[in-house]
Structure 1
Amino acid sequence: PLVYLVPTPAGSLALIVTPDTIHDLWLDAINETQLIDLLNQTWFAAYRQSQNNRQGWYDAIDSATRQLWEPLMAPLMAHLQQHQIQQATLIPTGYLSLLPLHAAWTEDPNTPTQRRYALDDICIAYAPNAQSLTAAQAISDRVQADSILAIDNPRNDLPNSEREVQAAVSTFPHPTVLRHHQATVDQVRSQLPAANIAHFSCHGTANLNDPLASGLLMSDGLLTLKDIFALNLADHAQGNHGLRLAILSACETGMIGTENADEAISLPTGLLQAGVAAVIASLWAVDDRSTMLLLSKFYDLWRKGNLPPDQSLRQAQIWLRDSTAKEIAAYGGFFTPTPDDRPYAHPFHWAAFSYTGI
C-alpha cells in the first residue's frame, strides 16, 4: 500500500491506501509543532555541529529516531502487520519528509543490538507522491537492469570508492566507468541517457534555497538537478527509456530544507521527476568505509541473490547493523582487533540510506 503521513497542528494522520480501500489512522500524540522542535532543536542543531561534535550527532540520531517510535511508527507498524502487510511505500509530507522513519526504534532485548527498528517489521520505501510512482513503474517495466554507468571518485578524496565501484560494476557485462578526472560534468551528461543503472560514488550537495542547484560533484564542477532535467531521460521521442535505478553514494544527497518542506525537491525526488524509476540516497554525510560495505552487500543481494532492489537495501542495512567486526572483516577482507564488536550497529552508519521509488 501507499501510506500518506500528514502532520498537522492538532496531530498527525496516516492514510493507508490499498487498491480496494483507504484506512485512516489518527496519530494524535505527534503534531507539527513537536516535529519542528525535534528538527530545529535536536536534528539540524546537531547536524550543523557534526564535523566538530560527532558524538553529539550520534546522540541526536538516537534521540530523534527513538522519539518517532511510540507516537508515529509503532501504531503504523501494528496496523500494517495486523493486515498482513510486509511492504509499504511511505509518502511523508511536510516535516516528516526530513527524517529517516525506517530507523524509528524501541528497546528489544532479543535482538543483537537490543533494539527493534521499523525496517525490521516492514520493508519501507519512500515516494514524493503517487503520480511519480506511476511514471516510475512504467520505466521499471520497460528498462532492463543490464548496463551501468559508474562515477568513481571524481575529486580523488574517497579512499574506499574504488572497491565500492568494483562491487557495483562486477555483475554487469559492459560497464562504463568514469574515474577521477574523467568524470567531468559534460562526460556524465553525455553518458547518462544511455545507461540503465547509474552509480555515483562522489560527493553531493543539497542546496536548500535553490533545490534545482543541488547536485553531485564531478571533477570539474557540479552536475545539478537542472542539468539532469535537461537530459529528458525518459523522453521516447529522443530514444530515451529512463533509468531503472540511481545509487547516490554521496554525502547528504537526501537533505532538504525546513523552509519549504512541503514542496521541496530533494535529489531523489528530483531524479524521479527527471526519469529515474528508483533512487538510493543518503540523508546525511556518511562514513566512506561503512558505505562501501553497505553498497557492496546491496549489489550482492540484488545482482547475485536476485532479491528486488528495495529488499536488497533493507537486508544490507540489517546485515551491516547486526554483523560483528569478525564477520565484516571476513566479508571485506581486512583485519579487526576487536572481532566481537558490532562496529556499525549505530543508525548513523546504515540508516542514512533510503529507497525512493519503485
Structure 2
Amino acid sequence: GGRGAHDAPVRLVLVPCGNLGAVPWHAARLPGSRAGAPRPYAYACEAAVISYAASGGEFLRAARRGRMPAGERAVLVADPSGDLTWAQDEVTALRTAYYTGALLYGWHEDAPESALGTPEDVLSHLPGGPAVPAASLLHLVVHGLAGLRPTDSALHLADPEDPADAPDLADTPDPGRLTVTRILDVPAAERAAAGPLIVLSACETDLSSRDHDEALTPTTALLARGATDVVGSRWKVSDSASAALMVVFHHQLTVAGLAPPDALRAAQLWMLDHDRRPVPGLTGLLLAETQSDAGGLARVVSWAGFIHQGSPAPHASAEGRQP
C-alpha cells in the first residue's frame, strides 16, 4: 500500500515464474483510462509502482539494504565503442544537470584518456571492488546482449589497453565483455548495510534467452553483488527514446527526490503523457529529437522495456534493515 495517502499508488513486487519472467507486466492493459489519456485503456504502471524480483530470496536481501544518496559518488560510463548515437548526449545531460562531480568513463570528450570504460573500471566501483567506498550510482550507457547461456550475458565495454592490467584475462577471447560470471566472481564478504543504484541504459540487461525462472542476468547479478536498486531492460530499446527516459528518471530521482522504483514509474508516465513538458536536463539535440518524435515516446516499445529490481521501499534514502 501507500504511505497513508488515499491516492498513493499501490506498490507491487512481482516474482514471475517460468516464461512469465520475460513479460513487462507494468505495461499490462487495464480497463478504463487515466484522466487526459487519449486511449480507452490504462497501463498497470499508471495504477501501481511495480518492481520485479527473480526470487523471494533476492527480494528480501535487497529490501534489507539501505540506499545511498545517488549523487554522493556517481560514476557515468558512455558507450566505449562510440557507436551508440545518443550515449554521449545522455551522459553529458546527466553530468551537467544532476551529477556535476561524477567520474566519467568511455567515449566522451570530458573523460580522461585513461578512463576507457573497461570491465575492470566498472568492477572497481562495485561493492567488493578495490574502490572504497563503492560508487553510490553507476550509470552505464552501453551495448548489452543476452547470451545463449545466462552466465554469458554481458555488457560490452572497452578492451584493456594493456593486457598486463588484466592478467587473468590473457586467454579470454573478448576481454571487453563484462559477463554475469565476471560480475559474480568476487570472494564472499560481508555486505555493506547500504548499496548503490545501478542503471543499465542498455539492451537486454534483464533478459535471459532461456531459463526465465529465477533468471540470471546482469541485473540480477548486480543485485547479488550488493546493489540496492538496479534498472535493467527486457529488449532492444531505441537509443534516443531511452536517453530521454533516463534524463527524466534522474530528474525525478535527484530533483523530485523519489525512490528509484517511483522515479522510473514517473519517467514512464512522462513518456506516456502527450502533454509532457521537458525537464531542465533535456537540452540541445536530445531535446530537439524528443520533441520531433513526441508521439513515438508513448509507444510501448519506447518505455516499457525498462524495469526496476531491488528494494521496493518508497523512501529516497533508507538505512539498512537487519533481517
Band the TM-score falls in, shorter-chain normalisation: 0.7 to 0.9
Q: How many residues align?
A: 270
1:147 aligns to what? 73
Q: Aligned partners of 1:185 and 1:336: how far apart in 2?
A: 31
Amino acid at match of 1:314: R
Structure 1 contact 250–282 (Cα < 8 Å) conserved: yes
2:147 aligns to what? 207
Relative contact order (C-alpha < 8 Å, sep 6+): which is higher? 2
Deviations 1:147-181 (A, max 9, x none): 11211111101121122113333433631111227
Please report how far the alpha carbon of residue 241 of structure 1 lies from its aligned counterpart in structure 2 after TM superposition.
6.3
Q: TM-score, normalised by structure 2?
A: 0.74
C-alpha change, 1:340 and 1:127, in structure 2 (3 Å) is: closer
Which of 150, 159, 182 is residue 85 of structure 2 equivalent to? 159
Aligned alpha-carbon RMSD (Å): 2.9
Q: Aligned partners of 1:161 and 1:343: how far apart in 2?
A: 19
1:67 aligns to what? none
2:273 aligns to what? 322
Q: Aligned partners of 2:102 and 2:190: how far apart in 1?
A: 23
In the TM superposition, structure 1's runs of 4+ consecutive aligned residues that sit over 6 Å from their partners are 336-340
Which of 299, 302, 314 is residue 253 of structure 2 equivalent to? 302
Equivalent residue runs for 1:242-257 within 5 Å: 243-257=195-209
Structure 1 contact 293–332 (Cα < 8 Å) conserved: no
C-alpha change, 1:263 and 1:154, in structure 2 (3 Å) is: same
Structure 1 contact 281–355 (Cα < 8 Å) conserved: yes
Q: Aligned partners of 1:321 and 1:187: how far apart in 2?
A: 36
- Aligned pair 1:188/2:122, yes or no? yes
Which of 101, 105, 111 is residue 178 of structure 1 equivalent to? 105
1:216 aligns to what? 155
1:90 aligns to what? 14
Which of 112, 118, 121 is residue 37 of structure 2 equivalent to? 112
Amino acid at match of 2:304: A
Q: TM-score, normalised by structure 1?
A: 0.68
Q: Which has more helix, going by share of residues?
A: 1
Amino acid at match of 1:166: T
Q: Aligned partners of 1:257 and 1:336: how far apart in 2?
A: 32
- Aligned pair 1:127/2:66, yes or no? no
C-alpha change, 1:206 and 1:340, in structure 2 (3 Å) is: closer
Q: Aligned partners of 1:169 and 1:329: how far apart in 2?
A: 14
SS at the partner of 1:149? strand
Q: Aligned partners of 1:337 and 1:172: how far apart in 2?
A: 22
Q: Aligned partners of 1:306 and 1:121: how far apart in 2?
A: 20
Unaligned runs of 5+ in 2: 108-114, 160-175, 312-323
Deviations 1:186-213 (A, max 9, x none): 222223332121111000111132x122
Amino acid at match of 2:76: A
